[in-house]
């Protein structure tokens, strides 16, 4: 079985030949495609710094085998801004000081995008906190992060209302 | 991580054939397997990727009652399936109390059943572990063991089963469906897991090549839907394994308990069904005193395996409180902090 995979990454189709089957999605993004926005924190599914969307769902890229994801659509932090215009979640993180050093931020933002897509949390801060518990912030910016997610969610809902 | 062969079979039969040779492992969500491969605790020579096998990702209501869940259904999808959460709310609550949103999106039903203990000595190849290396010894016995088993352990292994999902499944008599080189078989989930005894390396009844294809919840399990809860004590409110957990469910008529179900998590090498406690509650009034007696019975055989005597009293209190919550009624939706004692959501009986 050939270990070439085709992935659609931030809308671009990529054919990648894997040197061996051990390559995780995280290492493929960072080392092969040089998309280094997705961070390697713990590399064990505990910190959430590597969170990306695969087929619209947030997962830990460090615990996904690239070979197994042949055909998948992946969205990383690099795919959020369109034409230099920040996505709503990105703007909200800036406005609410949802970070300090910034290392966990791409994972936090992709996790927030996933949470908003899931649509389970509503405007309940407890549900948002619970839904973001897979993303650690060593600087302790969680208070701003939760405010940013709640605000972004409200704005996204408003934009969808306008579009509809 | 060791180098391995990677195959992606197209059918269950091909998968079973590919996995029947020693050293092969099934790969589904990968969240536990890859983690243990990264530490070097597991070194499978071949990964058999079952993520594309047809027909394993369905949630079906059965014509004879009950539901069947395919082994490849992702934990998050099962917890969110409206029919499932309505019939088995304690199972949905347990699922949502486990891991993180990212992990629940990847982890599968079959993988949850097959996950390994989180005993740190299993994951660390520099330690000795009878599960990883039969006969080598157990570093947990004299090591960090405050989270370890208080029921059903042996001097060969004191590890616990880490699953939340499996605890209410055992309380509700879930049945595991297995496909293997010798054909198909099935059994209650409770009997699927083996206690360590002298052979802790045998964690389940699965033989080489056997694959979990799905599980079934019997129709009677839904009769508890108005009063069933999962309660989980952990060292932080979210994204932590249970120190002790309990799935408690009741049927109450005219102020008297008809049937009761109880299983505990975090206390043994398998989710621990407590039938003696269930029997004590039959015909009793749903009071704190009755539930405390049931809790005593459930933990009657418990003994510390290390620095964990506190877990026995903790387990009694979790059982009592889980039954009180169940008696108050299943909340209309899963609480914001699933299975947490800090949850502000109180039970509302759907029959009120």
Nearest-Cα distance to chain B for A2, in Å, is 10
Q: Which residues of A touch B333 (CB under 8 A)?
A: none
Q: Which of B45, B101, B334 to mutate to test the interface with A (most CBs of A within 10 A)?
A: B101
Closest by Cβ to A64, choosing from B1, B8, B106: B106
E strand intervals along A25-90 = 51-54, 57-60, 73-75
Query: Quick one: A125 and A156 in the same domain?
Result: yes
For B17, the enclosing helix (H) or strand (E) is: helix B12-19
Say yes or no to pLDDT of B150 above 80: yes
Closest by Cβ to A115, choosing from B7, B101, B238: B101
CB B87, CB B223: distance < 8 Å: no
CB B267, CB B315: distance < 8 Å: yes
* Angle between the N-to-C axes of helices B310-328 and B288-298, in degrees from 0 to 180, rounded to the nearest 10: 140
Contact B4 A115 (CB under 8 A): no
In chain B, which residue's Cα lies nearest the Cα of A18? B6
Nearest-Cα distance to chain A for B94, in Å, is 14
Query: Quick one: A70 and A117 in the same domain?
Result: no
CA dihedral for B115, B121, B123, B129, sign (positive or negative): negative
State residue B63's pLDDT score: 96
Closest by Cβ to B38, choosing from A21, A43, A64: A43
A residues 22-61 closer than 8 Å to B (CB): 22, 24, 43-45, 48, 51, 57-60
CA distances from B178 to A113, B71, B186, B188, B215 (A): 37, 10, 6, 11, 9
Query: Quick one: A152 and A97 in the same domain?
Result: yes
Q: Which residues pair with B233 in a beta bridge?
A: B244
Residue B346: pLDDT band (50, 70, 90) is: low
Query: Domain B224-328 carries which CATH code?
Result: 3.30.390.50
Q: Of A42, A57, A79, which residue constitutes the final position of a domain? A: A79
State residue B350's pLDDT score: 40
Instruction: Answer whether A108 touches B (CB < 8 Å).
Output: no
Instruction: Answer whether A65 touches B (CB < 8 Å).
Output: yes
Contact A126 B336 (CB under 8 A): yes
Instruction: Answer whether A129 touches B (CB < 8 Å).
Output: yes
Q: Which residues of B touch A130 (CB under 8 A)?
A: 237-238, 336-338
Residue B349: pLDDT band (50, 70, 90) is: very low
Q: Among B271, B270, B272, B248, which residue's Cα sits nearest to residue B327? A: B248
Closest by Cβ to B51, choosing from A21, A68, A133: A68
In chain B, which residue's Cα lies nearest the Cα of A71? B52
pLDDT in tens, B172-191: 999 999 999 999 999 999 99
CB B148, CB B159: distance < 8 Å: yes
What are the residue ranges of helices labelled H in B60-106? 75-80, 82-87, 89-96, 101-106
Q: Of A48, A79, A110, which residue constitutes the final position of a domain? A: A79
Closest by Cβ to A63, choosing from B34, B49, B337: B34
Say yes or no to pLDDT of B262 above 60: yes
Residue B352: pLDDT band (50, 70, 90) is: very low
* Total Cβ atoms within 10 A of residue B299: 24
- Domain segments of chain B as ranges: 5-52, 224-328
CA dihedral for B88, A112, A132, A60, sign (positive or negative): positive
User: What is the residue range of A44's domain?
Assistant: 4-79
Q: What angle do CA B209, B210, B215 make, to 5 degrees?
A: 155
DSSP state of A28: I
Tokens of B202: 């045998």
Nearest-Cα distance to chain A for B102, in Å, is 4
CATH number at residue A140: 1.10.150.120
pLDDT in tens, B5-19: 999 999 999 999 999
CA distances from A143 to A96, A126, A129, A140 (A): 9, 12, 9, 8
State residue B238's pLDDT score: 95
ipTM of the modeled complex: 0.97
- Site of tokens 């304690």: B90
Q: How many domains does chain A have?
A: 2
pLDDT per position in chain A (164 positions), as tens?
459 999 999 999 999 999 899 999 999 999 999 999 999 999 999 999 999 999 999 999 999 999 999 999 999 999 999 999 999 999 999 999 999 999 999 999 999 999 999 999 989 999 999 999 999 999 999 999 999 999 999 999 998 877 65
State residue A114's pLDDT score: 98
Query: Quick one: A69 and A102 in the same domain?
Result: no
E strand intervals along B234-349 = 244-253, 256-265, 272-273
Query: Quick one: A26 and A59 in the same domain?
Result: yes
Say yes or no to pLDDT of B258 above 50: yes
Query: What is the Cα gyration radius of chain B?
Result: 20
Average pLDDT over residues B137-165: 98
Contact A114 B344 (CB under 8 A): no
Say yes or no to pLDDT of B345 above 70: no
CATH number at residue A60: 3.10.20.30
pLDDT in tens, B25-73: 999 999 999 999 999 999 999 999 999 999 999 999 999 999 999 999 9
Say yes or no to pLDDT of B230 above 80: yes
CB A134, CB B102: distance < 8 Å: yes
Contact A58 B80 (CB under 8 A): no
Contact B4 A22 (CB under 8 A): yes
- Cβ neighbours for A146, distance < 8 A, ≥ 6 positions apart: A125, A128, A129, A132
CA–CA separation, B145 and B153 (whole Å): 12
What are the residue ranges of helices labelled H in B88-135? 89-96, 101-106, 109-114, 120-123
Contact B106 A59 (CB under 8 A): yes
In chain B, which residue's Cα lies nearest the Cα of A70? B52
Closest by Cβ to A65, choosing from B30, B35, B238: B30
For B195, the enclosing helix (H) or strand (E) is: none
Query: Quick one: A99 and A132 in the same domain?
Result: yes
Task: Count interface pairs A-B at CB distance under 8 A.
Answer: 94
* Total Cβ atoms within 10 A of residue B282: 12
Query: Quick one: A45 and A100 in the same domain?
Result: no
Fold of B5-52: 3.30.43
pLDDT in tens, B68-92: 999 999 999 999 999 999 999 999 9
Average pLDDT over residues B255-261: 98
- Cβ neighbours for B99, distance < 8 A, ≥ 6 positions apart: A134, B31, B75, B107, B239
What are the residue ranges of helices labelled H in A4-124? 25-27, 88-95, 105-118
Q: How many residues does chain B have?
A: 352
Q: Among B326, B160, B183, B165, which residue's Cα sits nearest to residue B244? A: B160
């Amino acid at each position: 079985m050939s270990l070439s995979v085709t992935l659609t990454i931030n809308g671009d189709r990529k054919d990648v030949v894997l040197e061996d089957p051990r390559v995780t999605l995280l290492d493929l993004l960072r080392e092969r495609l040089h998309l280094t926005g997705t961070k390697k924190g713990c590399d064990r599914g505990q910190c959430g710094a590597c969170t990306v969307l695969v087929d619209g769902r947030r997962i830990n890229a460090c615990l996904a085998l690239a070979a197994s994801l042949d055909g998948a659509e992946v969205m990383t932090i690099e795919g959020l801004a369109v034409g230099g215009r920040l996505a709503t979640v990105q703007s909200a993180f800036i406005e609410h000081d949802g970070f300090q050093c910034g290392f966990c931020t791409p994972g936090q933002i992709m996790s927030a995008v996933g949470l908003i897509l899931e649509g389970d949390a509503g405007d309940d801060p407890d549900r948002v906190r619970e839904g973001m518990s897979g993303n650690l912030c060593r600087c302790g910016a969680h208070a701003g992060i939760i405010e940013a997610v709640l605000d972004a969610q409200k704005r996204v809902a408003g934009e969808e209302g306008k579009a509809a | 991580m060791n180098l391995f062969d990677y195959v992606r079979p197209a059918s269950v039969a091909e998968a079973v054939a590919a996995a029947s040779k020693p050293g092969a492992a099934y790969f589904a969500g990968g969240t536990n397997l890859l983690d243990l491969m990264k530490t070097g605790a597991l070194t499978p020579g071949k990964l058999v990727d079952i993520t594309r096998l047809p027909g394993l990702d369905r949630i079906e209501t059965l014509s004879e009652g009950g539901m069947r869940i395919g082994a490849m259904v992702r934990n998050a999808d099962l917890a969110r399936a409206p029919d499932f959460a309505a019939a088995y709310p304690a199972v949905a609550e347990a699922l949502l109390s486990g891991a993180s949103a990212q992990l629940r999106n990847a982890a599968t039903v079959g993988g949850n059943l097959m996950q390994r203990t989180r005993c740190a000595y299993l994951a660390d190849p520099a330690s000795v572990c009878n599960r990883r290396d039969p006969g080598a010894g157990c570093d947990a016995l004299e090591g960090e063991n405050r989270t370890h088993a208080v029921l059903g352990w042996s001097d060969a292994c004191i590890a616990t089963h880490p699953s939340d999902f499996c605890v209410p499944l055992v309380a509700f008599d879930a049945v595991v469906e297995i496909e293997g080189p010798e054909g198909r078989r099935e059994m209650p989930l409770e009997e699927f897991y083996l206690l360590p005894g002298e052979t802790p390396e045998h964690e389940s009844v699965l033989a080489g090549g056997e694959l979990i294809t799905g599980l079934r919840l019997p129709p009677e399990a839904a009769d508890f839907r108005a009063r069933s809860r999962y309660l989980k004590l952990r060292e932080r409110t979210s994204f932590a394994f249970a120190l002790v957990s309990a799935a408690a469910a009741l049927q109450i008529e005219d102020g008297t308990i008809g049937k009761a179900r109880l299983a505990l998590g975090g206390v043994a090498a398998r989710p621990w069904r407590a039938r003696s406690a269930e029997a004590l509650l039959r015909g009793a009034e749903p009071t704190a005193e009755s539930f405390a007696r049931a809790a005593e019975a459930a933990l009657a055989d418990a003994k510390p395996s290390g620095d964990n005597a506190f877990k026995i009293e903790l387990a009694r209190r979790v059982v009592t409180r889980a039954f009180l919550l169940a008696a108050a009624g299943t909340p209309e939706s899963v609480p914001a902090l699933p299975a947490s004692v800090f949850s502000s959501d109180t039970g509302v009986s759907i029959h009120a």
